[in-house]
Amino acid sequence: MPTYPDSRTAYAVFGELFKILAADEQFTERLRSADLTVRMVHTKPDCVIHVTPDQVRFGDDAPEDAAVVIKMSCDTAHRLWSGTLLMPAAVALGKVRIKGKVAKVLELVPILQPAFDRYPQLVAEQGLVDGAAK
């Protein structure tokens, strides 16, 4: 059974994660200094998030262009945020596809910590437990 039953739930969790990051000055400054924008494309269910140093946009409001595009299923994203799958392994296994500079993505992973810390709580608030809806 998939972790996320629908796009609404995926946006509720992943959208909140990136809002947390957008409020983190260290994260936004690193994006700004690297002149980096990121488009996260999640599938099964669909969830698109576009992150710049100044804003986070979702769905149809998310621009197509970004310095880095990261594509993965919501289940893979769940495993990454849960810490059961590391980004380098996910890329090597083909679970995550990246357009743009992979080194930039791997550089970003350590500054994502505020979102990693909050992910379990956000999943619980949506009624998702152990990769499945309650």
**Report field, pTM of the whole predicted structure over 0.75:** yes
Domain containing 106 equals: 7-126
Residue 27 domain-assigned? yes
CB 46 within 8 A of CB 72: no
Q: Which residues pair with 45 in a beta bridge?
A: none
Residue 112 domain-assigned? yes
Residue 81 domain-assigned? yes
Number of domains in the chain: 1
* The pair of three-digit structure tokens given for residue 98, joined into one six-digit string: 């990246």
Residue 104 domain-assigned? yes
Q: Report the chain's terminal Cα–Cα distance, integer Å.
A: 11
Q: Which CATH number goes with the domain that contains 66? A: 3.30.1050.10
Residue found under tokens 């999640």 = 42
Q: pLDDT per residue over 80-95, tens digit each? A: 999 999 988 999 999 9
Residue 1 domain-assigned? no
Residue 24 domain-assigned? yes
pLDDT value, residue 131: 45
